[in-house]
């Protein structure tokens, strides 16, 4: 039985080599630090869909432009943080309520809450009308003009605490609903005028401020309605919770309610069929199903890292930018290394005219400034990630080819190569089975440093606007900030954080490459 079988896989050559390598590598603390940082970046890249809080597209506006990070608000206690303030926008725990305890004799209201199959909740508000009585309990006087025509209606509420001592700069409400009708409400042409959907703000003093009233047509599929509150709505809902200069607050607490409901309208007096009133004609039901009620409040601060020049989420773009940088850095370096190794092997092994021709071509590429040539190629090929990888790979293999060529020229005259030629081995076999394994160790350090160059090249091209404008990347964030004067306007976060990410990732690869060079290079290891 062989020694490999006796000792198992721990006695295999690859395990022994890997163990020996790791024992040497872990002696270098800077190399360990580089690996830890790289693992952090890799985790960020793979976890980007879970870490991102908003759409990462640079053109996706989720907040006003150049809002400072939310954690900066600790230095500004009265500053409002932009965000979603409805405690249950998916309506998983909302319940319906009657405005009055008693119901109308011919109109009954009912509410139901239930969970949907898509992890969302639904609230059904139903009004059933029968023509047996003419008592609709219409409201005789409403000096505010914010209440429905009828004193009886159905609604549901959500409430939240306002923890800031200032008004929001703007508020957008989102309402998703569908309407299902039966009986006359389904068949009569003007049935959409018989009811309305309402939304109110209820301040801590109990005042109702109507912020939305629907109009027909209504359909039985979900539609999204966006409500942009005006200054008077903001003042009515929030001003009572703000302390004045003397520290006095008008409302008793900081709890604001949002109410959503349906109510009949006073259109029953119109006689559309000339023989009966609408109270006698309509016999059926209206069910309004609510799927989402969200409230986005705008202030001076936003998210983890603030907002960009276009109102995008800087944090989401930052975490997704790690994917672009790592993919471009690793793939472009892999392609350029493969080309450089093949050219270096061929030039160094065969020498002569082949070597002369290949090296003069390498010298030609080295003489040309790389960034202008990258700009030309990127503009010609198009601003896609695939094309950027090709551009970087085309110009990134020259240094590798010269390095491999010099090592091959030293290896091809050694005894093991001469022995392989003596037994009739082909040049291809000798190059890839004997020479290549002996020059491979010097590649690892070169590859890690090549990734740094690729990442910086991509960032430079993105900064110049030559990459895909819809793809989030750190270079694109810097370009957008520079083009709109973000840093000069005080938006330091749009420059500092992407710049830090590029710098730290480049340093991590440099640390790993330096350590690999010390471990794998016999001359450095002897020192």
Here the CATH number for the domain that contains residue 372 is 1.10.3720.10
- Does the pTM surpass 0.85? The reply is no
**Residue 168 domain-assigned (yes or no):** yes
C-alpha distances in angstroms, 287 versus 106, 109, 254, 290?
16, 10, 33, 10
Are residues 247 and 329 both part of a single domain? no
Here the CATH number for the domain that contains residue 242 is 2.60.120.260
Cα atoms found within 13 Å of the Cα of residue 441, Cβ hemisphere only? 15
β-strand partners of 196: 263
**Residue 446 domain-assigned (yes or no):** yes
The pLDDT, as a whole number, for residue 227 is 93
For the chain, the domain total comes to 2
Are residues 246 and 329 both part of a single domain? no
Are residues 330 and 458 both part of a single domain? yes
For the CA atoms of 32, 33, 36, 38, the dihedral, rounded to the nearest 10 degrees, stands at -110
Are residues 424 and 391 both part of a single domain? yes
**Residue 279 domain-assigned (yes or no):** yes
Q: Which of 248, 274, 299 is the last residue of a domain?
A: 299
The pLDDT, as a whole number, for residue 194 is 86
**Residue 70 domain-assigned (yes or no):** no
Q: Which of 247, 282, 299 is the last residue of a domain?
A: 299
Are residues 109 and 39 both part of a single domain? no
Cα atoms found within 13 Å of the Cα of residue 524, Cβ hemisphere only? 12
SS3 letters across 331-360: HHHHHHHHHHHHHHHHHHHHCHHHHHHHHH
Are residues 315 and 448 both part of a single domain? yes
Are residues 192 and 239 both part of a single domain? yes
**Which residue pairs, CB below 8 angstroms and at least 24 apart, start in 437-441?**
438/407, 438/411, 439/345, 439/404, 439/407, 439/408, 439/411, 441/520, 441/521
**Residue 1 domain-assigned (yes or no):** no
Taking a C-beta distance cutoff of 8 angstroms, is the pair 32, 291 a contact? no
C-alpha–C-alpha distance, residues 148 and 156, integer Å: 15
With CA atoms as reference, report the closest residue to 202 among 246, 243, 261: 261
What is the domain range of residue 317? 23-53+307-526
**Residue 64 domain-assigned (yes or no):** no
C-alpha–C-alpha distance, residues 308 and 314, integer Å: 6
Taking a C-beta distance cutoff of 8 angstroms, is the pair 68, 128 a contact? no
Are residues 27 and 157 both part of a single domain? no
Q: Which of 269, 299, 329 is the last residue of a domain?
A: 299
The pLDDT, as a whole number, for residue 3 is 47
β-strand partners of 68: 301
- What would you report as the CA-atom Rg of the chain, rounded to the nearest whole angstrom? 35
**Residue 256 domain-assigned (yes or no):** yes
With CA atoms as reference, report the closest residue to 80 among 92, 90, 72: 72
The pLDDT, as a whole number, for residue 116 is 47
Q: What is the mean pLDDT of each run of 10 residues along the chain (527 residues)?
A: 51 69 84 92 92 88 87 86 88 63 43 53 83 69 81 86 89 93 86 90 91 91 92 91 82 90 75 52 84 91 89 92 87 90 89 88 83 80 83 85 87 83 84 82 77 82 79 84 70 88 88 82 55
Are residues 96 and 173 both part of a single domain? yes
Q: Give 97-164 as a DSSP string.
A: EESSSSPPSSEEEEEEEEE-TTS-EEEEEEEEE-TT-----B-S--TTS-S-SBS--EEEEEEEE---
**Residue 69 domain-assigned (yes or no):** no
Are residues 216 and 132 both part of a single domain? yes
Are residues 271 and 343 both part of a single domain? no
Are residues 236 and 312 both part of a single domain? no
């Amino acid at each position: 039985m062989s020694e490999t079988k006796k000792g198992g896989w721990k006695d295999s050559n690859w395990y022994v080599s890997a163990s020996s390598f790791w024992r040497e590598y872990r002696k270098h603390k800077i190399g360990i630090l580089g690996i830890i940082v790289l693992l952090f970046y890799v985790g960020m890249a793979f976890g980007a869909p879970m870490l991102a809080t908003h759409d990462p597209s640079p053109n996706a506006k989720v907040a006003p432009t150049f809002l400072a990070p939310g954690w900066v608000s600790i230095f500004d206690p009265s500053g409002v943080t932009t965000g979603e303030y409805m405690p249950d926008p998916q309506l998983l725990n909302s319940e319906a309520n009657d405005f009055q305890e008693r119901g109308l004799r011919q109109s009954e209201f009912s509410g139901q809450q239930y969970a949907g199959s898509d992890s969302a909740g639904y609230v059904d508000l139903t009004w059933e009308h029968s023509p047996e009585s003419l008592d609709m309990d219409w409201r005789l006087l409403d000096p505010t003009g914010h209440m429905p025509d009828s004193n009886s209606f159905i609604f549901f509420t959500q409430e939240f605490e306002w923890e800031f001592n200032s008004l929001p700069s703007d508020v957008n409400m989102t309402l998703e609903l569908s309407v299902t009708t039966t009986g006359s409400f389904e068949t009569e042409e003007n049935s959409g005028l018989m009811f309305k959907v309402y939304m109110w703000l209820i301040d801590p003093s109990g005042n109702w401020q109507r912020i939305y009233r629907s109009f027909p047509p209504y359909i039985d599929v979900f539609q999204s309605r966006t409500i942009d509150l005006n200054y008077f709505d903001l003042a009515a809902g929030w001003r009572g919770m703000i302390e004045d200069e003397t520290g006095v607050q008008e409302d008793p607490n900081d709890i604001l309610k949002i109410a959503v409901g349906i109510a009949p309208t006073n259109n029953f007096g119109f006689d559309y069929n000339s023989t009966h009133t609408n109270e006698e004609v309509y016999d059926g039901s209206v069910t309004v199903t609510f799927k989402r009620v969200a409230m986005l409040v705008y202030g001076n601060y936003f998210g983890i890292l603030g907002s960009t020049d276009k109102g995008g989420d800087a944090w989401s773009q930052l975490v997704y930018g790690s994917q672009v940088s790592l993919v471009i850095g690793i793939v472009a370096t892999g392609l350029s290394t493969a080309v450089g190794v093949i050219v270096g092997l061929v030039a160094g092994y065969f020498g002569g005219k082949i070597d002369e021709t290949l090296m003069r071509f390498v010298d030609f590429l080295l003489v040309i400034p790389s960034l202008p040539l990258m700009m030309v190629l990127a503009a010609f090929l198009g601003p896609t990630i695939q094309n950027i990888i090709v551009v970087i790979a085309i110009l990134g293999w020259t240094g590798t080819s010269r390095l491999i060529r010099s090592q091959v020229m030293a290896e091809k005259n050694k005894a093991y190569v001469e022995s392989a030629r003596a037994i009739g081995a082909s040049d291809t076999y000798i190059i890839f089975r004997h020479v290549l394994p002996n020059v491979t160790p010097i590649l690892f350090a070169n590859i890690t440093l090549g990734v740094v160059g690729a990442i910086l090249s991509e960032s430079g091209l993105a900064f110049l606007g030559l990459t895909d404008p819809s793809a989030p990347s750190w270079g694109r964030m810097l370009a957008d900030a520079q083009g709109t004067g973000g840093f000069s306007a005080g938006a330091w976060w749009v420059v500092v954080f992407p710049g830090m990410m590029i710098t730290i990732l480049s340093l991590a690869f440099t640390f790993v490459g330096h350590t690999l060079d010390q471990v794998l290079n016999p001359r450095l290891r002897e020192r």
